[in-house]
C-alpha cells in the first residue's frame, strides 16, 4: 500500500550526489559547424543516467554527448527538462555501466575517508 503523498522510486539504479563538471556536445555529424559545446555540473548520477545543471537550452529526446570528469565520454538522451537543467539517460552498454558504477563507488569511498578525517 502506498501512502498518500509518497511516490515510489522506480529507478533501476541508485543515484548519488556527484558534484563534478562536464562538457556537453549537441549536433549531428562530425562537422564543427554542426556541433555546439556547452558546460554544466552533474547534480546526481547513476550508471543509467544523471541530473545535470546547465544553462544550455536542450529539448526532450535530444541526443547529447557528455564528457564527465572522472567518468569519461558518455552518450546520452535528454529525458526530462526542468528549470536550470535536465535529466539524461545514458546510452551505454553494460560494460560501460559497470565502469560508471566503479567510479561512483570509488568516489563514495574517497568522500567517506575524507569525512572520517574531519
Q: Where are the domains of the chain?
A: 16-117
What confidence tier does 5 reach under pLDDT thresholds 50, 70, 90? low
What confidence tier does 101 reach under pLDDT thresholds 50, 70, 90? very high
d(CA 52, CA 67): 12
Q: What is the pTM of this model?
A: 0.80
DSSP 118: -
Whether 98 has a pLDDT exceeding 80, the answer reads: yes
Write down the pLDDT at residue 31.
53
Whether 112 has a pLDDT exceeding 80, the answer reads: yes
**3-class DSSP state for residue 30?**
coil
d(CA 109, CA 115): 10
Domain at 16-117: CATH architecture: Beta Barrel (2.40)
DSSP conformation letters of 33-75: GGEEEEEEEEEEEETTEEEEEESS---TT-EEEEEETTTEEEE
Amino acid at each position: 500500500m502506498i501512502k498518500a503523498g509518497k511516490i515510489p522510486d522506480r529507478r533501476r539504479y541508485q543515484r548519488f550526489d556527484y558534484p563534478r563538471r562536464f562538457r556537453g556536445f549537441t549536433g549531428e555529424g562530425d562537422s564543427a559547424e554542426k556541433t555546439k559545446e556547452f558546460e554544466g555540473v552533474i547534480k546526481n548520477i547513476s550508471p543509467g543516467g544523471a541530473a545535470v545543471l546547465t544553462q544550455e537550452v536542450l529539448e526532450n529526446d535530444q541526443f547529447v554527448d557528455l564528457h564527465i570528469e572522472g567518468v569519461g565520454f558518455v552518450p546520452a538522451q535528454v529525458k526530462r527538462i526542468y528549470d536550470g537543467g535536465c535529466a539524461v539517460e545514458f546510452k551505454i552498454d553494460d560494460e560501460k555501466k559497470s565502469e560508471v558504477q566503479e567510479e561512483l563507488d570509488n568516489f563514495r569511498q574517497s568522500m567517506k575517508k575524507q569525512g572520517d578525517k574531519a
